[in-house]
Copies of this chain bind each other. A is one copy, B any other.
């Protein structure tokens, strides 16, 4: 299986899980823009079967956003993922793991999982969360699949929990959640989503400055 197939399968798995219809033939054909048979496509934000209306809508945003990130790093080599633009920068690889770490942290917080954020030691979640010096030192030498698989596994766990919850849960208020101001679970998960775009902007910035890259508009 080549890299392109790997990526397509990754997206298909995530999209399938997001629609709640894994294995059926009406999967959104992400990455296949000329197929017009899409009925519940990636670019439709709204409810999804198997989820409460707002939960499905939020998930459709998260799926859309993740697709953008994954397409942007398609075919990146280990060297590109480890490229450090300046001594204070984060690598693209570290930022990908950071997205998974952020999602995991919000899983633990909002799903009230009784586990240690650092987990079983296989993944350095702490370095991924902190980035900076620790990230530069400890997150490197991994191929793209390493990052995509962790992102995918983390997302599947989110989807599994979203299925068990409803719109009331999303609107549940946490009185001092963000900056000591009231927030709700919708805001927390919207932040997980937009945070991917924040780092995607940085990924694109670095990508257009990789050695030998064609300068872009970022």
Q: For the side of the interface on A, what is the size category?
A: 35 or more
Q: Which of B186, B194, B205 contacts A197 (CB 8 A)?
A: B194
Complex Cα–Cα for A38 and B182 (A): 8
Copies held by the complex: 2
Interface of A is mostly: mixed
Complex Cα–Cα for A42 and B181 (A): 8
- List residues of chain B with CB within 8 A of the CB of A209: 86, 88
Q: Does A217 contact B (CB under 8 A)?
A: yes
Q: Which residues of A contact B (CB under 8 A)?
A: 33-34, 38, 41-46, 54, 57, 61, 64-65, 86, 88, 90, 130-132, 171, 173, 177-184, 186-187, 190, 193-195, 197-202, 204-205, 208-209, 215-218
- The distance from the CB of A164 to the nearest CB of chain B, in whole angstroms, is 20
